[in-house]
Amino acid sequence: MERLNQDSLKTIDEIVERHREEPGPVIVMLHDVQDSLGYVPFEAMEKIADATGTSVADVYGVVCFYAQFTTSPKGKHVINICLGTACYVKGAQALIDEAMSLTGAEINKTSEDGIFSLDATRCLGACGLAPVCIIDGKVFGNCTKDTITEEISKIKAAEKMA
């Protein structure tokens, strides 16, 4: 397992200390760690467990239960495509295939260049807008292959300018 650098460890310590006295702080701490680091490393789970008087197994259970938490770093741009029943029936698999082709990322993995992560999710709660994709936090209802192509092209163009 890769060890975290001192800046990341300091960030985790600050988050834990900030929320230590709040009621039900585990999820709040996990969200802050995820927002700050882009994922929840094992070291964060250990520190959160210690600060809240729970076991690492309990904290890990929370991380695994909620789909928004990840234990590995994500790419700079995250694409979520819903594979719930309504989205799947309305063509979500074709959207995943297109995103894989355009980004080089496998399902639930990050592209080799670290730019894109592609996640297949279960029910985003917008079944009436199926198929649904979330790209960098922006929701796209009635998503099409053209939408995926256009958004990924915009990201690639912006990355070339950066």
Task: Identify the burial level of 132 via C-beta atoms within 10 angstroms of its C-beta, where 0-12 means exposed, 13-18 middle and 19 or more buried.
Answer: buried
pLDDT in tens, 113-152: 999 999 998 888 899 999 999 999 899 999 999 999 999 9
Q: What is the pLDDT of residue 134?
A: 94
Handedness of CA 45, 73, 79, 11 (dihedral sign): positive
3-state secondary structure of 140: strand
69-126 pLDDT, tens per residue? 889 888 999 999 999 999 999 999 999 999 999 999 999 999 999 999 999 988 888 9
